[in-house]
Amino acid sequence: MTPRPPRFAGFASRLAPSIEAYLRLKTALGRRYSAERTTLRALDAFLTTVDDDLTTDTFAAWNATLGRLTSGVHRNWLRVVRNLCLYRRRTLPDAFVPDPTGFPKPHVSVRPYIFTTAEIVRLLHAADRLDATPRSPLRRETFRLAIVLLYTSGLRRGELVRLTIGDYDPCDQTLLVRESKFHKSRLLPISSDASRRSRRICARVGDTGIRSPQRVR
């Protein structure tokens, strides 16, 4: 039996067929596109109120309603819509495509703060003082491992909190980081210390009967 294509309910504007076809294509390629879907729902809702297609004028009018967004988020929303328009132009040569030179400028990069060795040691000591809870009996061990991973592997915070026990491979000493930036997954080698602590937590999970996945809490 051929699986049914995913449905994307809630789109009602004249642009709805293009949005739905675009999302079906992206999800078929393995991408979640949840944030992009939120942007396209907002555009679709606006076009429904004006009962018009996406044109230079309607795009400018919708863009004017996005002043509440920060410049970086605003730019990304417009970029998402432009990608949809480029997809649409494959079958409609005259379809409108916004000019990216008029998009807001990206955020100025924030200068990163580099933790000193002494600060990391204090964080590890603080983790050792954490009390276990009914929902997180390995709270102390989990937070200590989290600090080690963040400090030694370059994981992003969002990647860290999505990790589960099953993402750790003790043989290869790697972590499977699922659908991270740009919707891609990757294998990340970790340090011997992080691997040793990961094995300890896996063993404790088995000893205590905790069901995996065990996430940072």
What does the pLDDT read at residue 194?
84
Active-site residue, from 32, 89, 122, 181: 181
Percent pLDDT > 90 in the chain is 46
Active-site residue, from 32, 89, 122, 156: 156
Tokens of 98: 């916004």
Closest CA to 151 of 191, 110, 202, 197: 191
What does the pLDDT read at residue 122?
96
pLDDT digits (tens, 9 = 90+) for 73-105: 999 999 999 999 999 999 999 999 999 999 998
pLDDT digits (tens, 9 = 90+) for 98-139: 999 999 988 767 778 889 999 999 999 999 999 999 888 889
Residue range 7-32: average pLDDT?
A: 86
pTM of the model: 0.52
Does residue 213 have a cis peptide bond before it, meaning omega lies within 30 degrees of 0?
Answer: yes
CB 44 within 8 A of CB 13: yes
Catalytic, 178? Answer no
Q: For residue 165, what is the DSSP state?
A: G
Catalytic, 156? Answer yes
Confidence of residue 217 (pLDDT cuts 50, 70, 90): very low
Neighbours of 49 (CB within 10 A): 10
Percent pLDDT > 70 in the chain is 88
Residue range 22-38: average pLDDT?
A: 89
